[in-house]
Amino acid sequence: MKRVLIHTLIFSPDGVSTAYLYNDIAKRLQERGYEVVVLTTTPHFNIVPEQVAQQPMKWKVWGFCKKSKFNGMTVLHVPQKKFKSTLLRLIGFVYWHIVSFVIGLSIKHVNLILSPSPPLTVGFMNLGLAKLKGCKVIYNVQEIYPDILKMKGGVVLKFLKWMEHKVYNGSDAVTTIDKVFHDTIVDRFEDKSKLHIIPNFVDTGLYRALSRSQVNSLLDPALFPQNDSIKLLYAGNIGHMQSWEPLVVLADKTRDLNVEYFVIGEGAQRGYVEDEIKNRGLEKLHLLPYQPRDLMPAILSYSDASFIFMVSGRDGDGFPSKVYTIMACERPMLIMSGENTPIINFLKDKNCAKLITEKDFDKKVDMMVEWLMSVTKEELAQMGKNGLAEIQAKYTKEKVTDMYCDLIDKLLS
């Protein structure tokens, strides 16, 4: 039996999108006859107590490595914490690289290593592991580094560019998630045939539209009021990749409309949103903590649409995987992003989202206000159906995970 090592910063029981994505890839590889070993961290991005309880970790080497089982697979966890201090985060990051490299060396009979970005450094580290082990490497580009850092020059940028060149050209295959990403990086390859497009995907068994009665039975009415307003939702990291000022201005300008906004999650910008709610008296802008993953289909079904407002200048280097889950739950989207960005190019012909690409701040907010004043729930429902049809045709878990398996089969044949 051939063995695949998934080397990733995030994996189960951490409760973020990359973990869920690679959980499903790992299970599909297992179903296709591969033995899968995972080398990762302890949960630190979004700790979900229920998931941690279902996948208990025990010390394998005290202080250095814990071990758990996921669907029968061995998962090795290097201790990691989400420190507030930048210095401590950097120390923890370096510590993970050193310890995981040593642990990676100890894992025997590996035929292939698969790892996602970020970080770019894990791809570089795997080149060394692969050379010592005599195995293949696949690097999965989820975000384009160092482009996403928007550095203007200097020694650090030159070093990262050199590292990127080594990772792309030293790997046996590189996958990226859409054509925009492909076209951005393809000229950085000496052998362009190494680069493959494999999109992200959604588990349509979990993410599906629920009936109103199902939603009402699952959600706390104190958090999710049962009324006839149009409800716009954002669920995920409240961070610097999203633009939050347009949201608070939009909520301010539509306070007299029958529209409510729900922001669910944690992150560096949560404090800003919370302060703006208080300062502006935005009673219809609700800020809630992370909710359990198994409630997300009900929460998405509770909404009439989801919104994603991308930060200008940083919106060309990443693609929010939540787009797939929203579409799978038959909900449309209100998207604010620049022209020719991955999210706009993906959605522009699918008739399942209102796309705002205007650059002027006041104009784009006014465009969103006008849309909310005119759109009906029936129109939103039809947009949601259009999105679901697209998911079922191209982006199910089964279809996309098979693309990873087929690529690995080809490399190892």
- Local confidence band at 317 (pLDDT 50, 70, 90 cut-offs): low
Q: Which domains does the chain carry? A: 3-201+396-412 (3.40.50.2000), 212-394 (3.40.50.2000)
Least confident of 12-16, 220-224, 375-379: 12-16
Is 90 exceeded by the pLDDT of residue 315?
no
* pLDDT, tens digit (0-9, with 9 covering 90-100), for 271-308: 999 999 999 999 999 999 988 888 999 999 999 999 99
Measured distance CA(396)–CA(351) in Å, rounded = 19
pLDDT at 147: 79
Is 90 exceeded by the pLDDT of residue 36?
yes
Average pLDDT, the chain: 93
Against a cut of 0.85, is the pTM above it? no
Least confident of 102-106, 113-117, 150-154: 150-154
* pLDDT, tens digit (0-9, with 9 covering 90-100), for 191-222: 999 999 999 999 999 999 999 999 999 999 99
Residue among 67, 73, 57 at smallest CA distance from 5: 73
Per-residue pLDDT, averaged over 225-247, amounts to 94
Measured distance CA(27)–CA(45) in Å, rounded = 22
Residues whose CB falls within 8 Å of the CB of residue 131, separated by 6 or more in sequence, listed in order:
none
